[in-house]
Amino acid sequence: MILASTDEIKGKRITEVLGLVKGNTVRARHIGQDFMAFLRNIVGGEVRNYTKLIAESREQAIDRMVAEAEALGANGVVGVRLITASIMQGSSELLAFGTAVKLADEK
C-alpha cells in the first residue's frame, strides 16, 4: 500500500478512484500521566508518555484507514491527512483520511 500526502505519486498513475477512506481512534489520558505532565511543565522538557500515546494513536488511525482502503481493493491512498480533536476533557480523537485509489506504473 502506497500512502502519500500529495494528490499524485511520481512514477505512478491513478487508474481508478475508489473514494474516501478513514480511520480514527479516541484515547483518554491517565491521571498518573497528567501528574507527570504537570511536573514536566514546571521543569520543562518532553512529556514522553504523551509522545508515545499520540504516536500509537497515529499508527492505529493510519492502520484502520489502510484496512478500509484494502477492503475497497485499493493499492494506494493519496491526499492523506491527519487531524486531532478534543472530544472531552482528558480525551482526544486522531483521524487519518485520504482518497483510496488503484495505481499502475506510468508507461
Q: What's the pLDDT tens digit per position in 6-23?
A: 999 999 999 999 999 999
Which percentage of the chain shows pLDDT scores above 70? 81
Tell me which CATH homologous superfamily contains domain 2-105.
Hypothetical protein apc22750. Chain B (3.30.110.70)
Q: Is the pLDDT of residue 77 over 90?
A: yes
Residue 91's pLDDT band, with cuts at 50, 70 and 90, is: confident
Axis crossing angle, helix 48-71 with helix 31-43, rounded to the nearest 10: 130
Collapse the DSSP code of 106 into the 3-class scheme (helix H, G, I; strand E, B; otherwise coil) and give the result. coil
User: Which residue type, as a one-letter code, is found at position 14?
Assistant: I
- Residue at grid coordinates 512529556: 47
pLDDT higher at 76 or 85:
76
Instruction: Determine the average pLDDT of the residues in 68-93.
Output: 90
Kindly tell me if the per-residue pLDDT of 74 is higher than 90. yes
Q: Helix, strand, or coil here: 107?
A: coil
| pTM as predicted | 0.82
